[in-house]
């Protein structure tokens, strides 16, 4: 059984989810089982691609019909339900790696409570690698993490009016 560290991919640059998914593929290639809980997301191309690996990688989403600017009661309920599913999967012993995609943003928007997330991570089943992604990683999570990588935007075509493209950004 491996130890199971906490990793965070954060920052305003592109590539946080992509890095986590790359780790998921690497883990699956080594025969490890992966669970991915995507907060705030409804549909993404990676869900379609990962169906090909459903024996090793399971993915669920906990997002609403639109991007959250001001969270609703429903957004909060979806996030809380998703976090419970992720907690259960971390402690189930079924998975070697659990990715909580965009959980930092969910905390930033107030749909999840940072104290609750930190308390759970401190008492979780050891031996499960935990990956937390999203901008705005709170200092409380950074303090308990074993690895923190910050993606920094140097230049982005979004600023030229290029919209998110299917298969590239979502």
Taking residues 94-109, what's their average pLDDT?
97
Tell me the pLDDT band of 128, cut-offs 50, 70 and 90. very high
Is residue 1 scored above 80 in pLDDT?
Answer: no
Q: Taking residues 41-52, report their average pLDDT.
A: 85
pLDDT at 26: 97
Per-residue pLDDT at 169: 79
Do 140 and 1 form a contact (C-beta atoms < 8 A)? no
pLDDT at 118 over 60: yes
Per-residue pLDDT, averaged over 145-149, amounts to 98
- Across the range 165-169, mean pLDDT stands at 80
Task: Give the pLDDT score at 90.
Answer: 97
Check pLDDT > 80 for residue 162: yes
Lowest mean pLDDT among 50-54, 56-60, 85-89, 93-97: 50-54
Q: What integer best gives the mean pLDDT of the chain? A: 93
CATH 3.40.50.920 matches 6-160: no
The CA-atom distances, in angstroms, between 100 and each of 7, 50, 97, 129 are 10, 16, 10, 11
pLDDT value of position 95: 97
- The predicted pLDDT at position 64 comes to 78
Residue 2 clears pLDDT 90, i.e. is over it: no
**DSSP letter string, 53-93:** GTTTEEEEEE--SS--SS--HHHHHHHHHHHHHHHHHHHTS
Mean pLDDT of 100-128: 96
Average pLDDT over every residue of 20-33 = 96
In terms of C-beta density within 10 A (0-12 exposed, 13-18 middle, 19 or more buried), how is residue 3 classed?
Answer: exposed
């Amino acid at each position: 059984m491996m130890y199971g560290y906490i990793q965070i991919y954060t920052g305003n640059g592109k590539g946080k989810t992509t890095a986590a998914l790359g780790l998921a593929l690497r883990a699956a290639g080594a025969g490890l089982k992966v669970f991915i809980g995507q907060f705030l997301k409804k549909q993404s191309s990676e869900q379609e691609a990962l169906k090909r690996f459903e024996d090793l990688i399971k993915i669920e989403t906990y997002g609403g019909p639109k991007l959250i600017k001001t969270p609703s009661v429903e957004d909060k309920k979806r996030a809380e339900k998703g976090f419970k599913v992720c907690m259960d999967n971390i402690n189930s012993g079924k998975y070697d790696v659990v990715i909580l995609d965009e959980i930092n943003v969910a905390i930033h928007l107030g749909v999840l409570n940072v104290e609750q997330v930190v308390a759970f991570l401190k008492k979780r089943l050891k031996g499960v690698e935990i990956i937390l992604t999203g901008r705005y990683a709170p200092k409380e999570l950074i303090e308990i993490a074993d690895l923190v990588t910050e993606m920094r935007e140097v230049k982005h075509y979004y600023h030229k009016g290029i919209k998110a493209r299917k298969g590239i950004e979502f």
